Amino acid sequence: MKFSMLKPFATALAFMTATASHASDVTTPGIDQLIGTWFVEVTGVLPDGGAYQNIMNVDAGGTADIVGGWMFGAAGMKFTDSPASVTKVDGNRFEIQMFAFLADIESGAPKGLNVTVYRGELAQTAATFTAEADLYYLPCSIEYCPAPNVADLGAPATVAQVAGTRLASPAVVDNSAS
C-alpha cells in the first residue's frame, strides 16, 4: 500500500519539475540565450562548395565578435577578426551583422570587405542555432575602403547556411553565500 501511494506522488513531483524547468527556458530573453562563445561553420559560400569556420563571442551588450575565421576551399584564405553586432532579437530568432576584410593571400593587404548578415534561430535548448547568411562583397583597398550602409547593399552575392554550436557560457557567480 505504501508503494502505491509513493508512485503517484513521485510522478507528480517529476511533472512539476519538468514543467518549471521548461517554463524557465521559454521565458529567458533571446539575447540572454545568445550570450557565450560559439563555434560557427558557414557552408555554401564558395562556388566549389567551400566553407569557413570561426569562433563567435556574444556579450550582454549585443557585441558578437568573430575571431579568426578560416575559409576552406579558397587556398586557405584567412579572414581578419571581425567586429559584429546582434541587431535584432525576437524570441529565439535573431539577426547578426558582421564585417570582415578579405586579405590577399600573398601580401595580406585587404582586397575586399565582406558584410555578412546572419538571420537565425536558436534551438530549444539554446545549445545550437541555425541561420541563413547573406554575404555581400565590396571592393576595398588600403587606400580606400568605404563604410557600408547595410540598407543599401542590394541583393546578396552569396547566400550561405550557418550552424552554430555553443562552446561556453559565461560563469554564473553566486553571491548569496557571502
Sign of the Cα pseudo-torsion (49, 54, 58, 64, in order): negative
The CATH topology of domain 30-168 is: Porin (2.40.160)
Rg of the Cα atoms in the chain: 21
* DSSP track, 131-152: EEEEEEEEE--SS--PPP-GGG
Pairing of strands 51-58, 64-72: antiparallel
Q: Which residues contact 16 (CB under 8 A, 6 or more apart)?
A: none
Whether 52 and 79 have beta carbons less than 8 Å apart is answered as yes
Distances in Å between the alpha carbon of 159 and those of 53, 115, 142, 143, 162?
16, 12, 27, 29, 10
Per-residue pLDDT of the chain (178 residues; tens, 9 = 90+): 444 444 443 333 444 444 344 444 445 666 788 999 999 988 877 656 667 788 899 998 989 888 766 655 555 555 556 788 999 999 999 999 988 777 777 777 778 888 889 999 999 888 999 999 998 888 888 888 888 887 888 888 888 899 999 999 887 777 776 5
pTM: 0.71
Domain ranges of the chain: 30-168
